Structure 1
């Protein structure tokens, strides 16, 4: 099963994924997809495989997409693991969910946050200016209909949010 963790920039996906990975590190059912991104490793954010545009185009992916001027990919090995019984947890774009649902058994965990808190988190990251943050806040990306979706509002502490994510990841069904 592929478990897609999605949500707008600034809702805390990376923090919750990092904490959940630690909490579930001994659970052999789980595999944590490491994204391949055309973003330098030193740019901050999630731990990822940093590649150039040319390197990205030479690779084969189970899923790939473009967003915010970058390319993202999930490896074929992670895709194969999702088909043979592992719970592969991946930070995905909402735009790729419909395609993912045609290729994998799919559960979606949609992390949300009120815009005022999201704006503060985006500003604290220091990667974008005020105009870029306003543009991110104005984007609306609805989830495709018919998916198995679990909603998490990440408006508490990081520990509370991670506990909610662990519960969603370990839920049966």
Structure 2
């Protein structure tokens, strides 16, 4: 078990709720705060595909990194592999708040490894989610409906979970997100 002085903040929620937009906005708003860090994820996806600022690696490189212990957390999702660099352990040991975007599937493992973490569960109404998913144009109508059904079926609860509704304008969502980070840090 890893004991840390800082706090790990896991940002999670269904596709389309605006996690990347909130993270980007919070990172920009807090860029001068050395006590809050936003590490880049390692992803087995081609570089430059947008959405988030990630480190692109091949499947083979990812597997080698995982085998070496280069990740604090890692998981597969939707045909890709995602990893949070093990360097977050040094940030936590230094007392920093570490904010990362993760899959809901990795939360239980993270809770065991990082006691005292905070989960920011981002959500949005089905109508807002549908419009956002349609606007980004990555999924078919059937795939969007499947995502909406998965989002409706999954509810994350626990004493370490804070819900954040992101139905409104982006500036309001970022302000609420930053406020939670500052309050919970």
Calculate the TM-score normalised by the size of structure 1: 0.93
1:16 aligned to 2:28? no
Q: Is the 8 A contact 1:41 1:47 kept in 2?
A: no
Query: Which consecutive residues of structure 1, in runs of 5 or more, have no partner in the other structure?
Result: none
Between the aligned partners of 1:121 and 1:87, the Cα distance in structure 2 is: 29
Instruction: Measure the CA separation in 1 of the matches of 2:183 and 2:167.
Output: 21
d(CA) in 2 for partners of 1:27 and 1:12? 23
SS in 2 for 1:136: helix
Report the equivalent of 2:113. 103
> C-alpha deviations, 1:43-101, integer Å up to 9, x for none?
22111011111111011210001111111000000233224311000001111111111
Give RMSD over aligned pairs: 1.4
Query: Which residue number corresponds to residue 131 of structure 2?
Result: 120
Residue segments in structure 2 that go unaligned for 5+ positions in a row: 1-6
- The TM-score with structure 2 as length reference comes to 0.88
Q: Give the paired residue count.
A: 172
CA shift digits 1:135-158 (9 cap, x unpaired): 111113332x53411111111110
Deviates more, 1:123-132 or 1:61-70: 123-132
